[in-house]
Amino acid sequence: MSDVKLYTLSTCPWCRKAKKFFSDKCVPFDYVDVDLLDGEEQDKISDEVYKISGSLQYPVVVIDDQVVTGFNPSRYEAILGLPHDEATA
């Protein structure tokens, strides 16, 4: 089972789509809405996001050791070894 973590913003529709993608595929995942964190924690996690993705553009999806910035169902499917689903692409 892959370890999936999503860094998201509560205001971002693509972040919502990313969460829905993993829910629909029954892939367990952790997520953090970075904008809802308190000041110091938000700074810490934002730094973490910048280090792994090189920007603060969301969503940032980490599947095991692979980082995908943006809502990209085809990439998620490829990394997870799931069959390509045209409906979610």
Partner 1 sequence: MSTEERKDTLHYYFEKIVDPLGFKFTPDEELVDFLLEQEIKLEQSAGAPYCPCQGRTNKREHDMKIVCPCIPYHQRQFNAMKRCWCGLFVHKDVTDPDSLPQISESELRESEAGHVD
H or E element: which one contains 37? none
> CA angle 62-64-70, nearest 5°?
20
Site for partner 1 in 34-63 (CB under 8 A): 34-35, 46, 49, 53-58
Residue with Cβ nearer partner 1 (13 or 81) = 13
Pick between residue 4 and residue 68 the one whose CB is nearest to partner 1.
68
List interacting residues with partner 1 (CB under 8 A). Answer: 9, 11-15, 34-35, 46, 49, 53-58, 69-72
